[in-house]
Structure 1
Amino acid sequence: VLVSHEHGDHAKSVMQLIDNGVAVYMSEGTKAALGDAAKYAEVVRPDKIKNIGKWRIQPFRTQHDAAEPLGFVIEDGEDRLLFATDTFFLPYKFLNLTQIMVECNYALDILDKNLLSGRVTQSQAKRLLTSHFSLHNLKSYLRDQDLSRVKVIYLMHISSVNGDQERFKKEIQSVTGKPVKICEA
């Protein structure tokens, strides 16, 4: 199991996985933040390739309010998957991707509406803007990528308050021309 960062919605079962004999990999910062829960986890380093069985893992830094968050490019010789969640920006271009699994957390117009109505506080909105991928930023990112080999794009970590699954799916399909699937929580 690859752990992106220490927040509970991403790492709460680390100890149980390890106790059940599952190999768990994470950054040094994530391991330190999780403490004893992750003492038997293996550390992977950003931008250093790690071979795990038939998988080739390329960890990379993401932009989130966590100790040392990571995204991953995962290859098995046939497919090359980009996995990125809980980041508001990706400065990288990855070549020869066949699948993309990426966060699309919120749309700014929905967030603004929720802010005005009081459903979302100023501090919540500020955190979202600097820790999660917006629909606008994801569309911009995908426009700048070579998607010629991509078979499917998976959208994940869509906010139930500030997101719209069907809208996000349609807009990403329109921008990319690729099939888009929604990952349910």
Structure 2
Amino acid sequence: MGLRFTILASGSTGNATIVQGSERTVLIDAGLSAKKLDELMKEQGISGHDIDALLVTHEHSDHIKGLGAFARKYELPIYANEATWGAMERHVGKIEKEKRVYMESGEELAFGALRVQSYPISHDAAEPVGYCFQENGEKLSLATDLGYVSDKVKQQIIDSDVLVLESNHDTEMLRMGRYPWNIKRRILSDVGHLSNVAAGEALIELMTDRTKRVYLAHLSLDHNQMDLAMLTVNSILENNGIFYKKEEFPLRKTYADRATPWDEVMRK
């Protein structure tokens, strides 16, 4: 079995993704209750007992809500950089010293044959990161909670076989929405979230002959719709000469309330 993954949930109400290599399985973020994580995993035919490690992108509640409870229940090590540990410590409860692992931004670790590369991103958190996963020449990259896609981020996630990329909001829906202006300004800033247009424009440079699928992730429930996000992104790709036959259409959906089906990275 090669590298595969399932996105248990994606959005402002909670985020969690499972990445499974040939020897090890990791959970990235635990932004749902431990009970909900158990339910979603059971539906995907996996258990917390199958998880070898928890990786944290940053300390916002939609990424760590169930982190402490889930880690304690299954006696799992938690990997995060020092700044993120400092920011989330009071929110996750007691974690045994041997289960607290420091993985600094930019560091690469091996979980069996599965290599995990951390890389810094721009977001309004202590020291947020994204992750790339590689095994046997296969590459999966997770890139959400991005204020913008910097050149350094592009260097990390380009040439991914599968890319999970934030497409958080439609700018006009956000501007006309009910949020107070200070929150809108934060979301629109370089430490906020990627719009549909920004995601599409980034993909012009990120998609290569190697790219098989792109999952649009972390959509706002208030200021976006999946069909709108996919239409916007696809239009930008087509306008820049990136065309796909319908049966080869590379964009995939994620959900706030249910998991995506298991996806094998090398699947055509």
Report the Cα offset of residue 113 of structure 1.
2.3
User: Per the alignment, in what secondary structure is the counterpart of residue 46 of structure 1?
Assistant: coil
Aligned to 2:124: 65
Of 128, 131, 139, which residue of structure 2 is paired with 1:80? 139
Alignment match, 2:7? none
Native 8 Å contact 2:197 2:232 kept in 1: no
Q: What CA RMSD, in Å, does the superposition of the two structures yield over aligned residues?
A: 1.8
Q: What is the aligned counterpart of 2:199 among 138, 159, 166?
A: 138
Alignment of 1:11-160 (within 5 A): 11-19=64-72, 20-35=74-89, 37=92, 40-91=99-150, 92-93=153-154, 94-114=157-177, 119-130=178-189, 131-160=192-221
Judged with a 3 Å threshold, the aligned counterparts in structure 2 of structure 1 residues 52 and 46 are, in CA distance, closer, same or farther, namely: same
**Alpha-carbon deviations, 1:103-126, whole Å to 9, x = none?**
111011211222xxxx12101101
TM-score, normalised with respect to structure 1: 0.89
Unpaired runs of at least 5, structure 1: none
Q: How many corresponding residue pairs?
A: 181
User: How big is the shift at 1:47?
Assistant: 1.7
TM-score in terms of structure 2 length = 0.63
| CA distance in structure 2 between the partners assigned to 1:122 and 1:85 by the alignment | 23
Structure 2 unaligned spans of 5+: 1-53, 257-268
**1:71·1:84 contact (CA, 8 Å) conserved in 2?**
yes
Of all paired residues, the percent bearing the same amino acid is: 25
Contact 1:101 1:154 in 2 (8 A): yes
User: Does the Cα contact within 8 Å between 1:88 and 1:132 map onto a contact in 2?
Assistant: yes
Instruction: Give the direction of change, closer, same or farther, for the CA distance of 1:35–1:103 in structure 2 (3 Å limit).
Output: same
